[in-house]
């Protein structure tokens, strides 16, 4: 059984009241079906406005879809009993793009990471502190950072704290919604590396939402492409992305920037004047 | 008007920027030497916080003079800018040096229309009347492939997408044919699909008006697509400066190697050659 199954999910935004006889709602997801196996990462690519984040919210249980089901370990997350839903929430964590607005600016790093632990685990003060220090060390920070406030960290460091908080309850699935997109290249690579290590150590699964083909390719095992609310392509192996003939995918591939000036395509006229 | 007698349109020599704080004087950038030739693109790379933006701000004399001191010389088209008073500087900004900012959403005033801001820029540097300025604006917007410019001029910034706003900003920057364009992370805030389009327009401006571009980015993809020469910055210093091909093929400095390695972890070389 798959860890997470999304079955024929359809969702739209907008008002449809009895006073609004005309249907003004906008369909953002139509008939999405996919599944994530334990210990794997599904990357979801799409342009801005394609509905990527909405699908993330639907999976997290933050936005109830109008049609369809989300099954987590076989339980429908919207209709399950309360005690099951509590268990599901523990196993389903999220890291957003904007690291700074994901934390309370008045809390120290220690309290930020302690929050989920306080809600779910009954730890003594000493145990909790030890767990937090372990988590900080696991994501590449140290004990000295315990008493720091969010504004004292850089974007990359703060994203590590968000990741530490997400893994604190040893979840099964983490939704990563553009989690590395606002970081600079060096930090992006470091965070992706960390995510890959954590995935192996804890047997985590990821739902990795991004518009960046390179980072999706780096971390994913399977890959989906969302366009205007429709899942146009779903690959069992990420390499199929590079052979697909679908026009949307072709356009996406065309937007990848060159890795080396030899392959540049923007300044084509001078391309050959400086060949090596 | 573009002085052919000055092949170096921008020359920065021995630039140091210090900031006064309660803990004494801190140095933000030191020993910056850059020369920019007509129609060429110099890429400035480095991690976040290494002083890329401070360098560009000091060229434009936009730093707060109460707390920051700029030493060294900044010569644009044979004219020394460092120490110039605000009134004189205002004539240069926008006309001789144009600035393209990272986040197009914050670069415009939300309370005025695009047209208002566009025409204001044109009229503050020329003798043209409103009607002529509008024509110039429409032409400049045509130039960057913006659909229906007449209508766009009446829009407010929030009504446009980030990619379109960035193209409007490029149009504003380019319409007075500046000698130097400083583009500070011009594509970082954009969707991947828009990046190449924006870069293409930037290059078009360069090739048609002969503007020199100082391209600041942490994304080596952007640099390899665009730059002629690259300067690598670390902790406020330029650690390596080389031709773009040379830099990618034979990086000399350890830090440059580290940056290039951060990129190659993405193992994307093969497929991109085929499909880009």
Residue A253: the pLDDT is 86
Q: What are phi and psi of A38, to 5 degrees?
A: -60, 135
Per-residue pLDDT tens for A168-203? Answer: 999 999 999 989 888 888 888 889 999 999 999 999
CB contact under 8 A, A47 and B191: yes
| Tokens describing residue B166 | 């960035």
What span, in angstroms and rounded, lies between the C-alpha atoms of A70 and B127? 63
**By the 8 A CB rule, do B239 and B255 touch?**
yes
What span, in angstroms and rounded, lies between the C-alpha atoms of A219 and A199? 10
A24 touches chain B (CB under 8 A): no
The residues near B8 (Cβ < 8 Å, ≥ 6 apart) are: B35, B36, B37, B75
A positions 58-97 inside 8 Å of B (CB): none
Concatenating the DSSP letter of every residue in B65-90 gives TTTEEEEEEEEETTEE-TT--HHHHH
Q: What are phi and psi of A253, to 5 degrees?
A: -60, -35
Rama region for A266: left / alpha / beta (φ>0; ψ in -120 to 50; rest): alpha
Among A48, A190, A257, beta carbon nearest to B195: A257
| H-helix or E-strand spanning residue A68 | strand A67-72
Q: Among B234, B235, B186, which residue's Cα sits nearest to residue B206?
A: B186
**pLDDT, greater one: A98 or B5:** A98
B positions 32-71 inside 8 Å of A (CB): 47-49
**How large is the C-alpha radius of gyration of chain A?**
21
What span, in angstroms and rounded, lies between the C-alpha atoms of B6 and B238? 24
Residue B187: the pLDDT is 86
Map out the domains of chain B with their CATH numbers.
39-50+91-263 (3.40.50.300)
Residue B42: the pLDDT is 95
A212 touches chain B (CB under 8 A): yes
> How far apart are the CA of B221 and the nearest CA of chain A, in angstroms?
5
B192-209 and B130-143 helices, crossing angle to 10°: 120
| Tokens describing residue B35 | 């020369």
Q: Which residues of A touch B203 (CB under 8 A)?
A: 266-267
Q: Which residues of B touch A263 (CB under 8 A)?
A: 224, 272-273, 276
What span, in angstroms and rounded, lies between the C-alpha atoms of B185 and B165? 14
Q: Among B244, B252, B271, B266, which residue's Cα sits nearest to residue A186?
A: B266
Q: Is the pLDDT of residue B105 over 90?
A: no
Q: A101: exposed, middle or buried (C-beta count within 10 Å: 0-12, 13-18, 19+)?
A: exposed
CB contact under 8 A, A187 and B47: yes
CB contact under 8 A, B276 and A186: no
Per-residue pLDDT tens for B118-127? Answer: 999 999 999 9
Among A186, A239, A267, beta carbon nearest to B47: A186
Closest alpha carbon within chain A to B225: A264
Residue B271: the pLDDT is 46
What CATH class is the domain A4-270? alpha beta
Residue B135: the pLDDT is 93
Q: Give the position of tokens 């979801």.
A: A44
What span, in angstroms and rounded, lies between the C-alpha atoms of A227 and A233? 9
- Domain edges within chain A: 4-270
CA atoms within 13 A on the CB side of A217: 19
- Sheet containing strand B68-76, strands side by side: B24-37, B8-21, B68-76, B79-80
| Across B11-20, average pLDDT | 92
> How far apart are the CA of B212 and the nearest CA of chain A, in angstroms?
14
The residues near B9 (Cβ < 8 Å, ≥ 6 apart) are: B2, B3, B36, B37, B38, B76, B77, B179, B180, B212
CB contact under 8 A, A185 and B220: yes
Residue B218: the pLDDT is 87
Which residues make beta-bridge pairs with A111?
none
What span, in angstroms and rounded, lies between the C-alpha atoms of B276 and A214? 13
Residue B174: which pLDDT band, with cuts at 50, 70 and 90?
A: confident
Residues of chain A by 3-state class (helix, strand, coil), percent to 5: 40, 20, 35
What span, in angstroms and rounded, lies between the C-alpha atoms of A19 and A31? 28
Closest alpha carbon within chain A to B230: A261
Among B48, B244, B272, beta carbon nearest to A263: B272
| Tokens describing residue B158 | 């929030």
B111 touches chain A (CB under 8 A): no
Could you list the pLDDT tens digit for every one of the 276 residues in chain A? 789 999 999 998 876 666 666 666 788 899 999 999 999 999 999 887 888 989 999 999 999 999 999 999 999 999 999 999 999 999 999 999 889 999 999 999 999 999 999 999 989 999 999 999 999 999 989 999 999 999 999 888 999 999 999 999 999 999 999 898 888 888 888 899 999 999 999 999 999 999 888 889 889 999 999 999 999 999 988 888 888 899 999 888 888 888 888 888 888 655 444 443
In a 3-state reduction of DSSP, which class is residue B251? coil
Rama region for B183: left / alpha / beta (φ>0; ψ in -120 to 50; rest): beta
CA distances from B186 to A40, A53, B66, B101, B181 (A): 35, 24, 29, 6, 11
Per-residue pLDDT tens for B219-270? Answer: 888 999 999 999 999 999 999 999 999 999 999 999 999 888 877 554 444 4
| Tokens describing residue B165 | 């706003």
Q: Which residues of A touch B207 (CB under 8 A)?
A: 269
Residue A17: the pLDDT is 62
| Tokens describing residue B190 | 């954009």
Among B225, B258, B275, beta carbon nearest to A253: B275
Per-residue pLDDT tens for B55-87? Answer: 999 999 988 888 889 999 999 988 899 888 889
Q: Which residues of B touch A193 (CB under 8 A)?
A: 265
Q: Among B151, B153, B184, B193, which residue's Cα sits nearest to residue B171?
A: B153
**By the 8 A CB rule, do B30 and B237 touch?**
yes
Cα angle vertex A172, ends A166, A175, to 5°?
A: 55
Q: Which residues of A touch B249 (CB under 8 A)?
A: 276
Q: How many CB pairs under 8 A join A and B?
A: 125
Q: Is the pLDDT of residue B1 over 90?
A: no
**By the 8 A CB rule, do B197 and B163 touch?**
yes
**By the 8 A CB rule, do B222 and B199 touch?**
yes
| Pairing mode, strands A75-76 and A67-72 | antiparallel
Q: Among A114, A76, A95, which residue's Cα sits nearest to residue A195?
A: A95
> How far apart are the CA of A140 and the nearest CA of chain B, in angstroms?
17
């Amino acid at each position: 059984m798959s860890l997470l199954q999304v079955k024929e999910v359809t969702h739209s935004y907008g008002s449809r009241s009895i006073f609004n006889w005309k249907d003004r709602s906008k369909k953002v997801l139509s008939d999405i079906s996919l599944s994530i196996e334990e210990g794997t990462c599904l990357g979801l690519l799409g342009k801005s406005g394609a509905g990527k984040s909405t699908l993330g919210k639907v999976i997290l249980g933050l936005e109830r879809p109008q049609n369809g089901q989300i099954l987590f370990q076989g339980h429908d997350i919207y209709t399950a009993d309360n005690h099951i839903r509590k268990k599901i929430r523990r196993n389903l964590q999220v890291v957003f793009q904007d690291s700074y607005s994901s934390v309370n600016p008045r809390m120290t790093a220690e309290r930020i990471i302690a929050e989920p632990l306080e809600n779910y685990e009954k730890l003594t003060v000493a145990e909790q502190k030890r767990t937090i220090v372990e988590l900080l060390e696991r994501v590449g920070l140290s004990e000295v950072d315990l008493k720091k406030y969010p504004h004292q960290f850089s974007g990359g460091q703060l994203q590590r704290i968000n990741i530490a908080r997400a893994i604190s309850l040893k979840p099964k699935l983490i939704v990563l919604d553009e989690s590395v997109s606002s970081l600079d290249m060096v930090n992006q690579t470091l965070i992706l590396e960390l995510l890959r290590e954590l995935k192996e150590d804890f047997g985590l699964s990821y739902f990795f939402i991004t518009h960046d083909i390179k980072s999706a390719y780096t971390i994913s095992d399977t890959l989906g492409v969302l366009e205007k609310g429709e899942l146009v392509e779903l690959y069992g192996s990420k390499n199929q992305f590079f052979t697909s003939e679908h026009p949307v995918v072709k356009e996406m591939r065309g937007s990848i920037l060159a890795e080396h000036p030899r392959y540049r395509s923007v300044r084509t006229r001078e391309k050959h004047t400086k060949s090596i | 008007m573009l002085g052919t007698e000055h092949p170096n349109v921008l020359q920065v020599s021995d630039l140091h920027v210090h900031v006064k704080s309660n803990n004494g004087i801190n140095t933000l950038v030191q020993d910056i030497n850059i020369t920019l030739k007509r129609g060429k693109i110099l890429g400035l790379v480095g991690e976040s916080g290494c002083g890329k933006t401070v360098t560009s701000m000091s060229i434009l004399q936009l730093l707060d003079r109460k707390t920051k001191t700029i030493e060294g010389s900044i010569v644009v088209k044979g004219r020394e800018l460092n120490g110039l008073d605000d009134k004189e500087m205002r004539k240069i900004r926008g006309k001789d040096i144009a600035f393209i900012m990272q986040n197009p959403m914050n670069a415009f005033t939300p309370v005025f229309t695009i047209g208002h801001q566009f025409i204001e820029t044109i009229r503050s540097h020329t003798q043209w009347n409103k009607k002529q300025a509008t024509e110039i604006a429409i032409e400049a917007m045509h130039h960057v492939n913006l659909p229906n410019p007449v209508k766009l001029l009446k829009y407010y910034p929030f009504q446009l997408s980030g990619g379109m706003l960035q193209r409007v900003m490029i149009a504003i920057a380019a319409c007075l044919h500046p000698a130097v364009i400083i583009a500070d992370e011009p594509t970082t805030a954009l969707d991947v699909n828009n990046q190449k389009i924006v870069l293409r327009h930037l290059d078009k401006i360069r090739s048609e008006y002969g503007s020199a571009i100082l391209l600041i980015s942490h994304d080596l993809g952007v640099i390899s697509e665009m730059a002629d020469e690259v300067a690598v910055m670390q902790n406020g210093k330029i650690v390596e400066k080389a031709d773009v091909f040379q830099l990618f093929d034979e990086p000399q400095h350890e830090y440059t190697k580290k940056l290039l390695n951060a990129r190659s972890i993405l193992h994307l070389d093969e497929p991109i050659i085929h499909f880009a």
